[in-house]
Structure 1
Amino acid sequence: MPKPADRLVASRLTDGVAVLTLADPGHRNALSRRLSDELAAAVGAALSDGARALVLTAEPPVFCAGGSLNALLERADPLREMFAGMTAVATAPVPTIAAVGGPAIGAGVNLPLACDIVITTPQARFDPRFLDVGIHPGGGHLFRLAGRVGAQGAAAMVLCGDVLTGPEAVERGLAWRCVAESELAETAMALAARAAARPARLVRRTKESLRRSLTLTDPEQAFALELQAQEWSMDQPEFAEALARVRLRITAARR
């Protein structure tokens, strides 16, 4: 029996960037257990190969239609395991960028929410829709959504069914930029490449500091967190090398 085609395609590293593409358009890239597991494995493999940034995208026209209805009805797999792919993206230590060019529905919204940066297009829609099918949001959806659009925005989207278009997602803080469909891949790759070109350990440490700072309520704790990390960075060879390059540029400009 031939091996079933993979539902996720991972590109080879290009300048330290790995592109992970949901590739099951026949099922609207719905998050089956298999697709979720493949995404988790692809994230792990990319990091093991030395990826310094990840781009998550999908074959059109739908970015992700959410949880597989068959899987939800059959309940053959524990819900926690259905979120393995999203969790792998959310916990990745390198910058993650979602390139969303179509509808993200239900649990499909969790994938861009799990990324550090979301780039979208006018064709995109962000539609939680959990309550429409009689299920409570899962996977940390409410926490991450409220972190982007605030408690009122999360209530409007989840409780009342309000849907954001690509431009509206930028206005509300769910996405960073809305670009033409023809510019989506290029824009996401450009951001990822810039992150990947920076000192890898410094980027990882800074991302970790950002995560930790979001849990703090005391500005003194935030100061101490960054002070410790900044002192660490100044002891790294990359700092001395960067400082030397700056001095050379200044000297050359004065000649």
Structure 2
Amino acid sequence: MPATEPVRVAIEDGIARITLADPAHRNALSKALSDALAAAVSRALGAGAAVLVLDAEPPVFCAGGSLEGLLDPRHGLGAMYAGFLALADAPIPTIAAVCGPAVGAGVNLPLACDVVLAGESARFDPRFLDVGIHPGGGHLWRLTRRIGYQGAAAMVLCGDALTGAEAAAHGLAWRCVPDAELPEAATRLARRVAGRSAELVRRTKQTLRASEGLRDAAQAVALELEAQQWSVEQPDFRERVAAIRDGIAARHAQSGADR
């Protein structure tokens, strides 16, 4: 992408790193940035990426919705959702590496991802009501699913905010690490994804999503049985089992020779 684009994409070894790159505007969710983010996700998927890592140029992860965009009568509010909805709908794992503040609609970006890693400088601050606007884009639904009703009420209604460490403690982030370690922490998780069967990862994410709407364990067993049966019929399963067996046999042979 040209350097002037508000979002950069780099794809290597199955890992697509998508970077919000408009620090002059604190990576605010203008329509241009949101559209560029949606295009970046589409590009990564089209290139066969196995996993997406979302990060941002410092010092602010995302300052929320662009005020100019919110006041622009040419675009409906829904037009601002394209970027984080593309993340939320991605069929492959998505990892947000949050360094610095995520404010207002900017919190929707990590909420749209499967896994959130927070740097120590991260701050999650919805702040919608402070600017007189109702939360949008599924913010309340996603936030409640992460931290529960009380947590969502504290953050959105009462204006509480969470640091990176607090976000990890409350379930909004998976873990909090020093800022300098955040890129490698995200890459380490992404490498694990990229080293697995792409079809199996996609199918497992699909099942994980479907599991959220189930009512009881029996439904979960049936859902997973179908997917598990599919997996054992794939060539990758047989190849990996054969490799494990060969490895065990080699270790036993080496152990016998050492005696």
TM interval, shorter chain, is over 0.9
> After superposition, what is the alpha-carbon deviation per residue over 1:138-188, rounded to whole angstroms, capped at 9, x for unaligned?
000011101110111000000000100000000000001111111110110
> After superposition, what is the alpha-carbon deviation per residue over 1:66-119, rounded to whole angstroms, capped at 9, x for unaligned?
000011122321111210000000010111000001100000000000000011
Counterpart of 2:53 in 1: which secondary structure?
Answer: strand
> Aligned to 2:204, which of 196, 203, 206?
206
What residue in structure 2 maps to residue 229 of structure 1?
Answer: 227
Offset at 1:217? 1.5
Cα distance in 2 for residues equivalent to 1:203 and 1:47: 14
Contact 1:8 1:38 in 2 (8 A): yes
What residue in structure 1 maps to residue 250 of structure 2?
Answer: 252
Q: Does 2:221 align with 1:219?
A: no
What residue in structure 2 maps to residue 72 of structure 1?
Answer: 70
User: After TM superposition, where is structure 1 displaced by more than 3 Å over at least 4 residues in a row?
Assistant: none
TM-score (norm 1): 0.97
Offset at 1:125? 0.3
Offset at 1:221? 0.9
Q: Does 2:163 align with 1:165?
A: yes
1:139-158 correspondence runs (5 A):
139-158=137-156
Q: Output the amino acid matched with 1:6.
A: E
> After superposition, what is the alpha-carbon deviation per residue over 1:18-64, rounded to whole angstroms, capped at 9, x for unaligned?
10000000100000000000000010011000100000000000000
Contact 1:55 1:97 in 2 (8 A): yes
Q: Output the amino acid matched with 2:6.
A: R
Q: Does 2:83 align with 1:81?
A: no
What residue in structure 2 maps to residue 43 of structure 1?
Answer: 41
Q: Does 2:9 align with 1:10?
A: yes
List gaps (5 residues or longer) in structure 1.
Answer: none
Counterpart of 1:119 in 2: which secondary structure?
Answer: strand
Farther-moved stretch of structure 1 (173-182 vs 75-84) = 75-84
Offset at 1:4? 8.5
1:88-107 correspondence runs (5 A):
88-107=86-105
How many correspondences in the alignment?
252
Cα distance in 2 for residues equivalent to 1:76 and 1:149: 35
Cα distance in 2 for residues equivalent to 1:253 and 1:197: 23
Cα distance in 1 for residues equivalent to 2:83 and 2:73: 18
Counterpart of 1:83 in 2: which secondary structure?
Answer: helix
What residue in structure 1 maps to residue 190 of structure 2?
Answer: 192
Q: Output the amino acid matched with 2:8.
A: V
Q: Output the amino acid matched with 1:38.
A: A
Q: Does 2:169 align with 1:135?
A: no
Q: Output the amino acid matched with 1:224.
A: A
Contact 1:15 1:197 in 2 (8 A): no
> Aligned to 1:27, which of 6, 10, 25?
25
What residue in structure 2 maps to residue 178 of structure 1?
Answer: 176
Contact 1:37 1:84 in 2 (8 A): yes
What residue in structure 1 maps to residue 240 of structure 2?
Answer: 242
Cα distance in 2 for residues equivalent to 1:140 and 1:242: 40
Counterpart of 2:12 in 1: which secondary structure?
Answer: coil
Q: Output the amino acid matched with 2:122.
A: A
Structure index of larger Rg? 2
